[in-house]
Amino acid sequence: MTRIIRWTFRYVDVLAALALALVMVGLDVVGETSDRILQNAMMATLAVVALVLLRDRARSDSTRKETHDKLDALAAELNQQQVVQVIDGSGCSRLLAEVRMETRNWVFKGATATYVRAVTLPECIRMARPSHRALSFQLEILDPTDALLCARFVDFQRSMSDPSGPVHEWTAEGTQRELFATILAACWHQQHYARLDIEVRLSATYTLLRYELAADKLILTQRGPGFPATVIYRNTPTYDCLEKEIDVSWKQARAVDLQAAKQISLSTVPTPAEVRRVFEVLDLTTPPWDDTVLAELADMALRSPDPYA
C-alpha cells in the first residue's frame, strides 16, 4: 500500500493530465461539452504535459550531473589507490607543475639537478612568495669536486645513448659546471627568500634515475620528457621502501654548509669575485677557472632556461 501511495504522489501530474483527457473524451462522447470547453481542456492538458516534460528534463539533468560527480570521485579515488602509475614525458611535466603549486617540501636525488635549478626551485619560490609560504628543499647531487666521478657519469650516459644524440656532447667539465651552478643557485635563493630552508649534499656515486619526492608522490624520471616517468603514491609499501632508500643515501652523502655562504652578500647577478668567495667559504675547490667561466656559472645558476622546453 505504501508503495502505491508513493507511486501515486510521484506521478500525480501525469495522472492528472490523463484523468483530464479521459473526462473530456467522455463528455465529448455523450455530447455534454462545447468547443470552447474542449479547447480550454486541451490547453490545460498540454500545460500539464509541458510541466511533466520540464520536471523529467530537470530530473534527467540532475541525475546526469550526479552520475558524472560520482564517476569523477571514483576516478580520483582509484587514482589515489594506485601503487605505481607510468606516465609519458608531457604528463610528467604537467604533474610536476601541479605538485609545485601545493608542496612545501621537495626532496631531490639525482645527478646535476639542472631542471630543479632552472624550473622547480624558482617556480616554487614564485608561487610561495605572495603568501610567505615556507619551503624546504633537499638536493642530493654528484660531488662537483670529484672530476673522476663526473667523467664516469658522462661516459656511462654516452654508452647508453645514440651516438648522434646531444648526450655525446656532454663533458666532465660541463657536468662540474652544472653542479657548481646548482650549489650557487641554492646559496643565492636562500638569501633572497627568507622562508626557504635548503640543504645540499654531495654523493660519491651516480644513479640512473632522478628521484623527486614532493606532496604525496614520489616521481622517478630519467633524462627528460622523451622517457616515461613513474609515479608512486604515499602510504604504499613501494613508496615507503624507496623513501627509506632516499633517506639512507642522503645520510651517507657529504653535507655542504650553505649557512656559511650567508656571510657573503650576493648581488642580483653574482660577480666572479662573489662566486669565487662562495665556493671558498663552502670549502669546495673549483677547477682553475677564470672570471669568464665564473660569470657563466652565475648566469647558469639564475638564468638557465627550462632544459626540456
Calpha distance 114→110 (Å, rounded): 10
C-alpha 283 chain-centroid distance: 35
Superfamily name with CATH number, domain 84-303: Endonuclease Chain A (3.30.870.10)
Q: Please give the full DSSP string across 110-158, using - where no structure is assigned.
A: SSS-HHIIIIIHHHHHHHHGGGT--EEEEEEEE-TT-HHHHHHHHHHHH
End-to-end CA distance of the chain: 69
The whole-chain average pLDDT of the chain stands at: 83
Would you kindly state where each structural domain of the chain is located, as residue ranges? 7-53, 84-303
Report percent pLDDT > 90 for the chain: 50
Calpha distance 212→209 (Å, rounded): 10
Calpha distance 24→8 (Å, rounded): 22
pLDDT one-digit tens code per residue, 210-263: 999 998 889 888 866 667 888 989 888 888 999 999 999 999 999 999 999 999
Q: Look at 75 and 233; give whichever has higher pLDDT.
A: 233
Judged by average pLDDT, the poorest of 143-152, 235-244, 256-265, 269-278 is 235-244
How confident is the model at residue 76, as a pLDDT? Answer: 58
Residue 13: which pLDDT band, with cuts at 50, 70 and 90? Answer: low
Residue 145: which pLDDT band, with cuts at 50, 70 and 90? Answer: very high
Average pLDDT over residues 23-33: 58
Instruction: Give ∠ CA 140-151-108 in degrees, rounded to 5.
Output: 15
215: alpha, beta or left? (left if phi > 0; alpha if psi -120 to 50): left
